[in-house]
Amino acid sequence: MTDIRSAYTDSISFFGPLEPAALAEQYGTPLYVYNESILRQRCSELKNLCKVPGFGVNYSVKANSNPALLAIVREEGLVVDAMSPGELHMDLLAGYKEEDILYISNNISAAEMRNAIDHHLVVSVDSLSQLDMYGSFNPGGSVMIRLNPGIGAGHHKKVITAGKETKFGILPEDLPAVQSLLEKHHLTLAGVNQHIGSCFMEPDGYIKACSVLLSLIDGMPESMRSHINIIDFGGGFGIPYHKYEGEARLDLAALGSGLDEILFAWKEKTGYTGRFLIEPGRYIVAECSVLLGTVEAVKNNGERRYAGTDLGFNVLQRPVMYGSFHDVEIYGKDKNASRAEMPQTISGNICESGDILAKDRLLPEMHEGDIVGILDAGAYGFSMSSSYNTRFMPAEVLITKDGEARLIRRRQTYEDLTAALVR
Ligand code: LLP
């Protein structure tokens, strides 16, 4: 390859027989490019994480809900969650059956709750108030509760979702109140779930939180726990975003054996025959996508050199929202064989000075017309994008396992921008 900087994607043959610059030319930028083989590989790694009978993977579609990708995830044998009517709609479009969709809710309206019940979904509620609502809509039904085990984890305080500092889950001290509400509405407790936070890179905290959840179940009265047949430990499995620094991967072997150890023992002790689920989003989809953009303008503002691109935070919000790091590649044949490396800041085209994708990165000198690739963009990339500054939302292309490019979402048009207006 003669791309300017593409060692990582070359090493895994991300683009297969296709050239990123040619994809950018054909479909335009910004463009999310996905690789089917990598997506399948991540699904299978997690499906094989544990040996304990009943183990399964519940893909959390908030990370990426494109139905073309969901259909692949379904073929790989993963079930899915939904936390909004829109996500449920995408799950169904991808061919998921209602029995393979868990509704993991947070502060939902009465209409949403009824929608989930009308679809016969197993619903997890995460407050006493919503449990009461569920019971009044579906007396005699089965419900799950989301517990807050008191231990949080994650790459940023905005994504830590357990412990007393968060809005999520029912605290253990409220379990007696849960029991009263179950009795009041003649509900069966079908399962429990938790989610401690997003992007952990060490297995220990997750394993510990699993033990805590199991001991919370142990502490429930027999009448409350006897029908539990889904225990969902949540997601949060991290990926190495610092590819060019050789960041280590999450040790799945250690995580899997650590989980197996406690799950086999607990099964043995309790005679449990139900399902054990994990609920990852990022791990499944982050690494199967590279976001392509174009360098439109280069300038020096004082000491700092800016490469201005079409990748505003409307396209990829993570760097602005969490200060997240994504590695950068630069594509296109290098006519100017030796490009000096220098610190450069990659910015977008949004009218805010915070619109920075990567700050002071040591990269080969960028020029107008270069194509940049933002690695690991598949999770919380498109799904958090917007049409801020009234820009079109990006297109998405899938490189199939046969090495062909397939458009799975076209770029928005003026018609899309105005479709919901009432005039
Ligand atoms: N289950 C529940 C209930 C969740 O709230 C989440 C993520 C997941 C599962 C999946 O977590 P994952 O395996 O993807 O870490 N936008 C942020 C991440 C927010 C995560 C929100 N909840 C980011 O870009 O880093």
Task: For ligand 1, pick from 43, 45, 46, 62 the residue to mutate: most ligand atoms within 8 Å of CB.
Answer: 62
Q: What is the pLDDT of residue 153?
A: 73
Q: What are the C-alpha distances in Å from 20 to residues 28, 111, 140, 230, 270?
A: 11, 44, 55, 43, 53
- Distance from the CA of 394 to the center of ligand 1, in angstroms? 22
Pairing of strands 142-146, 188-193: parallel
Q: What is the pLDDT of residue 158?
A: 81
Span 255-267, mean pLDDT?
98
Q: What is the mean pLDDT of the chain?
A: 96
Q: What is the pLDDT of residue 165?
A: 80
Diameter of the chain by CA atoms?
75
Contact 181, 131 (CB under 8 A): yes
351 belongs to the catalytic site: yes
Span 343-353, mean pLDDT?
97
1 pLDDT exceeds 60? no
Q: What is the pLDDT of residue 230?
A: 98
Q: What is the pLDDT of residue 336?
A: 60
Each residue of 177-224: pLDDT tens digit? Answer: 999 999 999 999 999 999 999 999 999 999 999 999 999 999 999 999
Contact 363, 374 (CB under 8 A): no
Each residue of 160-178: pLDDT tens digit? Answer: 777 778 889 999 999 999 9
| Angle value at C-alpha 172, between 191 and 116, nearest 5 degrees | 35
Nearest-angstrom CA–CA distance, 162 and 291 = 31
Nearest CA to ligand 1 atom 8: 235
Q: What is the pLDDT of residue 400?
A: 98
Nearest CA to ligand 1 atom 4: 195
287 pLDDT exceeds 70? yes
Q: Sorting pLDDT into bands at 50, 70 and 90, what band is 335?
A: low
- Distance from the CA of 240 to the center of ligand 1, in angstroms? 16
Contact 104, 193 (CB under 8 A): yes
| Angle value at C-alpha 187, between 183 and 190, nearest 5 degrees | 125
353 pLDDT exceeds 90? yes
Nearest to 385 by CA among 313, 319, 328, 325: 313
Classify residue 340 by its DSSP letter.
P
Question: DSSP secondary structure string, 19-71?
Answer: -HHHHHHHH-SSEEEEEHHHHHHHHHHHHTS--STTEEEEE-GGG---HHHHH
Contact 206, 255 (CB under 8 A): yes
Residue 148 has φ and ψ, to the nearest 5°, of: -105, 105
Task: For ligand 1, pick from 80, 126, 145, 198 the residue to mutate: most ligand atoms within 8 Å of CB.
Answer: 198
Nearest to 293 by CA among 224, 395, 362: 395
Instruction: For 297-335, give one letter per residue: b (16+ CB within 10 A) or e.
Output: ebeeeeeebbbbbbbbbbbbbbbbebebbbbbbbbbebe
> Mapping DSSP to helix (H, G, I), strand (E, B) and coil, where does residue 144 land?
strand
Task: For ligand 1, pick from 107, 282, 317, 325 the residue to mutate: most ligand atoms within 8 Å of CB.
Answer: 282
| % of residues, the chain, pLDDT over 70 | 99
| % of residues, the chain, pLDDT over 90 | 93
User: What token pair was written down for 206?
Assistant: 């997750």
C-beta atoms surrounding 97 within 10 Å = 10
- Distance from the CA of 281 to the center of ligand 1, in angstroms? 6
Nearest-angstrom CA–CA distance, 116 and 8 = 42
Q: What is the pLDDT of residue 332?
A: 84
Pocket of ligand 1 (CB under 6 A): 60, 62-63, 104, 159, 161, 195, 198-199, 234-237, 279-283, 318, 322, 379-380
Q: What is the pLDDT of residue 143?
A: 98
Nearest-angstrom CA–CA distance, 407 and 398 = 6
- Distance from the CA of 235 to the center of ligand 1, in angstroms? 7
Each residue of 12-65: pLDDT tens digit? Answer: 999 999 999 999 999 999 999 999 999 999 999 999 999 999 999 999 999 999
User: Exposed, middle or buried by CB within 10 Å (0-12, 13-18, 19+), for 336?
Assistant: exposed
Classify residue 287 by its DSSP letter.
G
Q: What is the pLDDT of residue 337?
A: 63
Span 294-305, mean pLDDT?
95
Contact 187, 142 (CB under 8 A): yes
Nearest to 142 by CA among 156, 126, 125, 154: 125
354: left (phi over 0), alpha (psi -120 to 50) or beta: alpha
Q: Sorting pLDDT into bands at 50, 70 and 90, what band is 8?
A: very high
Span 68-75, mean pLDDT?
98
Nearest CA to ligand 1 atom 19: 159
pTM above 0.95, yes or no: yes
Q: Which atom of ligand 1 is nearest to the CA of 198?
A: 15
Q: What is the pLDDT of residue 157?
A: 83
Q: Which atom of ligand 1 is nearest to the CA of 193?
A: 3
